[in-house]
Amino acid sequence: MEDFNYTRPASLSDAAATHSNADDAMYMAGGQTLIPVLKQGLAMPTDVVDLNKVDGLAGIEVAGGFVTIGAMTRHAVVAASAEIKNVLPALTVLAGGIGDAQVRNRGTIGGSLA
């Protein structure tokens, strides 16, 4: 694994600024894919921008017949959500079956979509 600059900004604007000011930056959510890729030397970014402390990217909201799940929401949180279970029980079952406990507790919805 090559050396890189690591930042953990607290706001989306700081994350975007850090990413855009770097030569070759990558965002990190749960790191389930990125960390192995870095270790294998398949990616060599100059900067890794960790999104784990950015406010507003995680959470679940059920309102008006819609379910909103933030990109940084962990699979384990979705699996355990009583709100989602009430309106979309299949999603809690699906989220509870993703990988093993470690993957569910680190992996994010956004990371799975990316």
Give me the residue label for tokens 């009583």. Answer: 82
Give the per-residue pLDDT at 2.
Answer: 87
**What's at 60, amino acid-wise?**
I
Architecture of domain 5-50: 2-Layer Sandwich (3.30)
CATH 3.40.50.11900 at 60-113, yes or no: no
Residue 44 confidence class, pLDDT cut points 50, 70, 90: very high
Q: Where exactly does CATH 3.30.465.10 map onto the chain?
A: 60-113
Give the mean model confidence (pLDDT) for residues 35-50.
96
pTM of the prediction? 0.84
Distance separating alpha carbons of residues 103 and 98, to the nearest angstrom: 7
Q: What is the DSSP string of 37-66?
A: HHHTTS---SEEEE-TT-TTSS-EEEETTE
What residues have CB less than 8 Å from 14, skipping those under 6 apart? none
Residue 114 has pLDDT above 80, yes or no: no
What is the signed CA dihedral for 26, 30, 31, 33, rounded to 10 degrees? -100
Average pLDDT, the chain: 94
Chain segment 75-95, per-residue pLDDT in tens: 999 999 999 999 999 999 999
